Amino acid sequence: MTSSEAKTIGIAGISGKFAQCIIKSLLLYPSVHIKGYCRNASKLPTILTTHPRIKILTGSYDDITSIQNFVSGTSVVICCYFASTEVMANGQKYLINACEAAKVLRYIAGDFSVDHTLIPSSRIHLFPKPTTKIIEYLSTKKSVKGVHILNGALMETFWAEFFQLYDSSSQTLSYWGTGDEKWEFTTYQTAADYTAAVALDENAVGIFRFLEDRKSPRELQSIFQTVYSSPLHLKSHGSLLDLEQKLQEAVNTHGEDTSQWGALGFAFWCTNGKAYLGEDSSNLDNSKYPQVKNVTMEQFLKRHTLQELPLADQSLGFE
């Protein structure tokens, strides 16, 4: 995109951390304007409500009229919802319908995870995002084209409470499997930088795979020791089969309430080898956007003290 080409990017779920990381990247381009959509603007950081190139619209995920007003005049809409299955499924369909009606040409779906395209249909119910349904729904539209960004696990989330793997009080990292299974990582900001780059690339449609690092728990143990001069203890939760059984039981019990099993689902698909992004680097799209600088796990750890590490996800976005 040249500086003379003004674009308006729509971001649904603008109150979220990932959305705000995308905004940080987009605001580096003086000709880019942003329309944000959220339920309650009063909780937004001041910069989002006062910036001359950001316009905020409010409404619920199923407020058809407000959504239509939101997407109007945008060149692409990015979904940054991270919510219940109802919002992630039907909420995205409302956005897609509005894009189709307004002739918005591209819709960046709320994927941002492992390569779910490799998950067999018989097991997709064990994946905590309705990604396949959204791909199928987009395929029924004539005008709007789907864009799907896959980036593995987010480094900040991995060390946070969400995955329930890292115990900062004892410096213990729990794992499923042998301890040699790779996790695939990006940081929030790098994933956001790639998302912004794709949003500004008018020719970018389809599936994009971005990755910064691949490390197993045993490799993380070594890096942790190098960076902090302090040990990272490892603790096995059981085999990958144990994890799958525990996940299946949770899905059977809680159904579409992914808040009860989402972390297990992500851990399973991040490590079982079935949905990897980058075993073969030729599958990755990093090189298409060389302006985005990558961060290794070692570099990420060096940016955070031991005390800051489990809270790294809380310092994202704007104050």
* 2 assigned to some structural domain: no
Q: Predicted confidence band at 128 (pLDDT cuts at 50, 70, 90)?
A: confident
Contacts of 267 (CB under 8 A, 6+ apart): 163, 165, 176, 243
1 falls within a domain: no
CATH number of the domain bearing residue 229: 3.40.50.720
pLDDT tens string 87-112: 999 999 999 999 999 999 999 999 99
Query: Residue 280 carries which side chain, given as an amino acid letter?
Result: D
The share of the chain scoring above pLDDT 90, in percent, equals 87
The answer to whether residues 90 and 62 touch, using CB atoms and an 8 Å cutoff, is yes
Closest CA to 78 of 150, 22, 137: 22
Domain count across the chain:
1
| Domain-located, residue 178 | yes
pLDDT greater than 60 at residue 134? yes
What is the extent of the structural domain holding 64? 7-315
Task: Answer yes or no: is pLDDT of 1 > 80.
Answer: no
Per-residue confidence band for 2, with pLDDT thresholds at 50, 70 and 90 = very low
Q: For residue 74, what pLDDT is reported?
A: 98
Distance of CA 144 to the CA centre of its chain: 21
Tens digits of per-residue pLDDT, 165-223? 999 999 999 999 999 999 999 999 999 999 999 999 999 999 999 999 999 999 999 99
109 in a structural domain: yes
Answer whether residue 243 is part of any domain. Answer: yes
Q: What is the pTM for the complete model shown? A: 0.95
Tokens of 73: 């005049």
- SS3 readout for the chain: CCCCCCEEEEEECCCCHHHHHHHHHHCCCCCEEEEEEECCHHHCCHHHHHCCCEEEEECCCCCHHHHHHHHCCCCEEEECCCCCHHHHHHHHHHHHHHHHHHCCCEEECCCCCCCHHHCCHHHHHHCCCCHHHHHHHHCCCCCCEEEEEECCEEHHHHHCCCCCCEECCCCEEEEECCCCCCEEEECHHHHHHHHHHHHHCCCCCEEEECCCEEECHHHHHHHHHHHHCCCCEEEEEECHHHHHHHHHHHHHHHCCCHHHCHHHHHHHHHHCCCCCCCCCHHHCCHHHCCCCCCCCHHHHHHCCCCCCHHHHHHHCCCC
pLDDT at 84: 85
Whether residue 160 is contained in a domain is answered as yes
Residue 33 belongs to some domain of the structure: yes
Q: What is the pLDDT of residue 4?
A: 39
How does the average pLDDT of the chain come out, rounded? 95
Could you read off the pLDDT of 64-87 as tens digits, one per residue? 999 999 999 999 999 999 888 899
pLDDT attached to residue 5:
66
> Per the domain annotation, does 39 fall within a domain?
yes
Residue-wise pLDDT for 30-50, tens only, equals: 999 999 999 999 989 999 999
Q: What is the percentage of the chain residues whose pLDDT exceeds 70?
A: 98
Tens of pLDDT, residues 250-278:
999 999 899 899 999 999 999 999 999 98
